[in-house]
Amino acid sequence: MNILVTGGTGYIGSHTAIELIGAGHNVSLADNLINSNEEVVARIQQITGRKVPFHLIDLCDYPATDELFTHNHFDAVIHFAGLKAVGESIQKPLDYYQNNINSTLSLLRAMNDHRVNKLVFSSSATVYGNPGIPKYDEMLSVGQNISNPYGQTKYVIERIIRDYCTSNSSFEASLLRYFNPIGAHESGLIGEDPLGPPNNLMPFITQVASGRRKKLLIFGNDYPTPDGTCKRDYIHVTDLAHGHIAALNHLKPGVVTYNLGSGTPTSVLQLVTTFTTVTGKDIPYEFAPRRPGDLPEFYADPTKAYKELGWKTEKTLEDMCRDSWNWQSKNPNGYK
């Protein structure tokens, strides 16, 4: 198939593009490069040995999006494009609502106008809000008690896709709610390269390990967990990419949702300890006050994805740490 990957030069989009190519698909990338680097395209081509078309485009611009579909044939779209930092979304809610929702509306309109009826959407576990239990399955209600605009945009987009599917009986959509992707491609050529201070734990750890930062701040050590730090469900980005391909391969008319995660929660201190054990790099840290909205523990119930897609995680926490450090040590300044 000819697959358009929006947000294709981003962290998850780039890894998914590589796995799509490895699975025999033709891949085109679209990105506005606000939070990524065009060097990623060259790295993907180096890894795959394939020419990968790249389209510099802001999906909020409908005429430009329509032109993209007019001059290219796509069988399906995997939609990653969007602003994604939870903390930033609280500081800049209007940017998040405008960008994430408008870009998706523009994309869906172009897909409708050009009769492209297959979509895999990169959603998030944040749509569950705070359900009061740590283990999340797809039967939980969504859209309630969401503490940040980022999660709200994911919920609204899910609703938009569902409403569009109701109007178009030919449309096939999969909504993938995942948890905490970390790791990098085993080559060390691509990985997570945040602009400015990292918003996620693993790139902060690797930047401390590489000397870019003096120490790790751990927000809260008094949670009701065995070591007092938050527990999260970490998933290797390559496993996550395979989950998108599995969802693509099982599309059918209507909308279906899947959790993509390991089903095993890991605490902040467990991740730090594992990283040190795997890499031999000590990570200085200190505890800081809790962040508003952080939950003590949540993790995926990935049973549905295994039963219906035949997908499950393959990479271990040790793999995630090893590959993250391989990327950071080979690219101490990211793609710069």
Residues serving a catalytic function are: 150
Backbone dihedral region of 100: left (phi > 0), alpha (psi from -120 to 50 degrees) or beta?
A: alpha
Q: Which residues pair with 31 in a beta bridge?
A: 56
Contacts (Cβ under 8 Å, ≥6 apart) of 17:
5, 8, 27, 29, 44, 52
| Residue found under tokens 């409403």 | 163
Q: Which residues pair with 54 in a beta bridge?
A: 29
Amino acid at 336: K
Contacts (Cβ under 8 Å, ≥6 apart) of 96:
83, 88, 89, 149, 150, 153
Cα distance between residue 243 and residue 310, in whole Å: 9
Buried b (16+ CB within 10 A) or exposed e, 74-97: bebbbbbbbbbbbebbeeeeeebb
